[in-house]
Amino acid sequence: MSSITNNNIQYLGTGRRKTSIARVRLIPGSGKLIINGLPGELYLQFSPNYLRISCAPLALLGLEKEYDIHVKAEGGGLTGQADAIRLGVVRALCLINAENRKTLKSEGLLTRNSKIKERKKYGLRKARKAPQYSKR
């Protein structure tokens, strides 16, 4: 979904991973990453891995310096949020140009990682760990 505000176009995308949700806005600009009002480097604790994950779709298409990324991220930890940001950016890039979708799909970036924590069952210590069994 794209929207126009004050003659500025912005592209919206939502990404989810584990319990994290990231609402992403791509705005034509200089390549800044802003997460919850903070610079991306500061929010992601200067981790090059999280920064690389978050900006991977733009790097793949060679658009790193063409769009500013504004993110509202909530829930989960930094790993889940970084993956959610990546999925949100990918979905927003698909709105910009339909040919981007083919490239991003071939890299596997359009697929949501659906793995979530398994619930704990009663009678067990954790989701699958059973108490120690004594034969006698």
| Beta partners for residue 126, in sequence order | none
Residue 91: CB atoms within 10 A of its CB come to: 23
For 71, the domain range is: 2-106
- What integer pLDDT is reported at residue 114 of this predicted model? 92
Tell me what the mean pLDDT of segment 118-134 comes to.
96
Q: Is residue 41 part of a domain?
A: yes
Q: Is residue 119 part of a domain?
A: no
Q: Is residue 99 part of a domain?
A: yes
- What integer pLDDT is reported at residue 8 of this predicted model? 76
Residue ranges in the chain assigned as alpha helix (H): 40-43, 48-61, 78-96, 98-106
Cα first-last separation, the chain: 64
pLDDT digits (tens, 9 = 90+) for 72-106: 999 999 999 999 999 999 999 999 988 999 999 99
CATH number of the domain residue 62 falls in: 3.30.230.10
pLDDT digits (tens, 9 = 90+) for 4-47: 655 678 999 999 999 999 999 999 999 999 999 999 999 999 99
Q: How many domains, the chain? A: 1
